Amino acid sequence: MNKKRISLIAPFYNESGNVTEFFRRVAAIADSLSAYDIEVVAVNDGSRDNTWAELLEARARYSWVHLVDLSRNFGKEAALTAGLDRAQGDAVVPIDADLQHPPELLTEMLAQWEQGAEVVLARRTDRETDGRLQKFSATSFYRLHNLISHVEVPMDVGDFRLMDRRVVEALRRLPENHRFMKGLFAWVGFRTVTIPYVNAKRHAGTSSFNFWRLWNLAMEGITSFSTAPLKIWTYIGMAVSALALLYAGTTVIGTMIHGVDVPGYASLMAGGMFLGGVQLIGIGVLGEYVGRIYHEVKRRPVYLVREEYQPDNRPASAPSAAHERETA
């Protein structure tokens, strides 16, 4: 009887120091799950340190490692997409290489999957490893996104989850280049259960996600799944117009009763700058959506592969158009 295959997708970006421990812990879990055939799709997302060399060493040690080396740093969303395109498992699990996602949770995920769940979400029960600003910004983002979007992204749930093969095939049919994976995971749906886990500290190194990257990811999530930022400026315009009419009426009545006052340049300047700022913000919001349309219509591939090695330790052939995920 053939074993079910489980694919772990692990993006690596400057994770030197985490590679050896990551594969050691995954190997321990693979040994304990002898009823399954485990593979790891390790995607090197343009690392500038010794990550790729360490990945090659891991491939030489473990026969179930599938290595993908992207031509440059395309970002975690693209690296996850590259992994999804190559994962052959009956179930697929994206997991962080820094070991904040404990590989040992795979046992409980598989138990839920065997009971009929098509998606098993791992929800963080605490954010002790995050700073105050990161906690506040994450909570605010989830609340804002779910308030204005028709797709609800579960709170405190990242990319760490188990997905059935049919879920992965549904994700691979989504053509967009700008990919907010948490939103795409939520959009496809399917039968979902949630299990709790405690987010661990990084084994080594520091996170590459700074405030600017998190801000851009939040903007990506909001503009990918909601047009509310565009609609709200209609109401802002109506409110500003109503205030202007009210002020004009007040001025006319005051002039009729008290005569003509000498106009003040300070009030005119303040009003002009306020309206100019409102208009520029509105144009900026519109520009965010237009910019995303501009990038989508060019139909560039989400990522490019420089080098790839299959789990049987033989170098893969040159990446095909399907491997590079052209979205035309």
Q: What is the dihedral of CA 173, 170, 178, 225, to 10 degrees?
A: 130
DSSP structure class, residue 315: B
- CA nearest to 299, candidates 204, 175, 192: 175
Name the strand (E) or helix (H) holding 162: strand 157-164
Flag whether 328 is in a domain: no
Same domain, 115 and 235: no
Range of the domain at 253: 228-297
- Asked if residue 183 and residue 70 are part of one domain, the reply reads yes
Q: What's the pTM? A: 0.71
The two tokens of residue 324 are: 């590079």
Q: How many domains does the chain have?
A: 2
Residue 321 lies in a domain: no
Q: Are residues 71 and 38 in the same domain?
A: yes
The Cα-based distances of 35 to 87, 111, 121, 157 in angstroms read 19, 12, 22, 28
Asked if 202 and 245 sit in the same domain, the reply is no
317 domain residue, yes or no: no
Q: Indicate the SS3 state at residue 22.
A: helix
Does 287 lie in the same domain as 175? no
Q: Identify whether residues 208 and 63 lie together within a single domain.
A: yes
Separation CA 191–CA 175 (nearest Å): 23
Convert the pLDDT of each residue in 255-303 to its tens digit.
Answer: 666 666 555 555 666 667 677 777 777 787 787 778 777 777 778 888 8
CATH number of the structural domain spanning residue 82: 3.90.550.10
Whether 132 is covered by a domain: the verdict is yes
Please indicate, yes or no, whether residues 216 and 252 belong to a single structural domain of this protein: no
3-class SS at 9? strand
Residue 16 domain flag: yes
One domain for residues 119 and 244: no
Least confident of 3-12, 139-148, 202-211, 290-299: 202-211
Rounded Cα gap, residues 149 and 156, in angstroms: 17
The verdict on residue 323 lying in a domain is: no
Residue 161 reports pLDDT greater than 70: yes
The answer to whether residue 162 scores a pLDDT higher than 90 is yes
Which among 198, 38, 194, 29 has a CA at the least distance from the CA of 103?
Answer: 29
- Six-digit token pair at 27? 């190997």
Pairwise CA distance, residues 153 & 209, whole Å:
20
Burial group, residue 261, by CB count within 10 angstroms (0-12, 13-18, 19+): exposed
In three-state form (DSSP H/G/I as H, E/B as E, the rest C), the secondary structure along 247-275 is HHHHHHHHHHHHCCCCCCHHHHHHHHHHH
pLDDT tens, position by position, 213-259? 666 666 766 667 677 777 777 777 777 777 777 776 776 676 666 66
Mean of per-residue pLDDT scores for the chain: 78
Strand partners, 173: none
Q: Do 39 and 112 fall within a single domain?
A: yes
Do 26 and 89 lie in a common domain?
yes
Residue 18 lies in a domain: yes
Q: Give yes or no: residues 28 and 169 share one domain.
A: yes
Domain assignment of residue 320, yes or no: no
Do 52 and 182 share a domain, yes or no? yes
